[in-house]
Structure 1
């Protein structure tokens, strides 16, 4: 690994897809710029990266996770020892791959990556959420460059300088998606009719009970309006659909492995508003009903803010997402082609489709500053 003449980049964004996908999008963009670049992803044994990273063809180095508790609990007492152990392991990885630059996206492995790289390897921090997490706030203090998806995230560079707004890196299969061109293939793939509106529903990798209950509870109203549904309910959940209309079917699946085809088949979306979800849905130009998680620090509602302000989406509180809302407001949108078209254009215009390439360019610039590129 260390014998190659290419730049060595370490990406740190393990744990959830929201941290991993931006990291892999940047990795893809780096390879597009220069195939000799070596990318190593940091991860943990319990994160989604154990499957996502190898599937995309990248080296995965496992280190002990450092979950940062949001509240004052007993777990805080064990935190220092966990940090030391993980930093030591991460430092060994950086030496093994002869890292020229580390770029972190938050999550369980970002903090040890920042601490291990401090003073030896240049650091870049990317904050995807509208409200910065603890790991990235710490990392920003030692970073050469601090990037953010949107303004006002609360993350700053050295000397309180403002973060550079670059958007969220999204993989090319999404940013370059030809929804109209793939529509027929996508609908055939999922067993959906070629004509009529389609509603896409998903609540993340594990699904979301409130979304499942609300949309499935309105299945009869959706079918009566001629609206077909493609619903990813989560692998641990089941879905009881009240109606099965061949002209407006309700297709329920545990998980969507081809999100590109799911986006191409759809006319509108009901989904959570994690940063990565908002970035992808807006990048493909789909109108959306964003349903923020009802707990946490409120970041999910903030994530959807710019798209909603541009007219490309609607935020609905988790408690207000009912079968009645779906039967009225969601059906009203999907049966109004002019409104769907206007919201689609607004959503597409509000995103940062070139974010992955821009971040990759910054990574190479910083790696050159490290003196070993």
Structure 2
């Protein structure tokens, strides 16, 4: 089924992304996986290629393109690549929108040029050892002290935790237990601030080249000018930005699953058992037919959501539905592809094996499937 949502300028960016991945990432996959992180230089090269900051205003060095279809193109191509690569979706889809929506003019001038060039790598620190999906359980706190906040606490599972230069930290700024969601703020912690320490680079079963880390804030003195948005409105700022993150996750999940499906289709045509290609066995044909159909349906829904986003009509409900359905479908498709590969599907030299572990986190980060369903149920008035 031909997708019609993208214009020629989007497809030009797709070609740029493919060329970048082939030239800058493919030769470094094994090294980056072994090191557990991507070289910082890769972000700068991505900036040079125009793959970063296209949604940042031109006056700050960006492309000025407020069109999530550009984001989707980059997400799809990086997901189809399936190897080690810089985390551009974290930068473009998750973090830059915070600064676009919340940063004041001084903050924009100070931070955005580096985001556009790739010299400034971003991270967001929400999850804590005792608080994941339940953001209300966050313990990290910041107390006002003159022109500064004194930030204390720890975060875990932080993507780009090692490479990041700016970390948007979700912290409790109102100690009143009855404050509820009005207790949190977003503070931007900068590399090198005294008391800001990187903990362990976490050993994950998948996404081996993504630097995921623990972060510790030991009475870090953060200037009040680094408050992003309004004090005690952090929870609402998060809710405003989560739909684009969830949309990005859904797009990447289906693009990655589509690539694995296509490789599996070729594999079952080539692999023979009992004297004929294994894809010709009825059960396998049925399995492949189901995957093809479901992926087409998911892409159609994604395109509908992307179109809604272009018109400013993408709701938090749409993003939640997209996120849980697409990630769960990707999990099922890739699992079936492992089965069709047989023993070879368990070997890391095959893309399907790496995809199996890499994709598993997608139903968890950005809001678990269970949280997405709960949000949808509440929207129904239940």
* Structure with more of its chain in helix, by fraction: 2
Q: Give TM class, smaller chain.
A: under 0.3
* TM-score, normalised by the number of residues in structure 1: 0.25
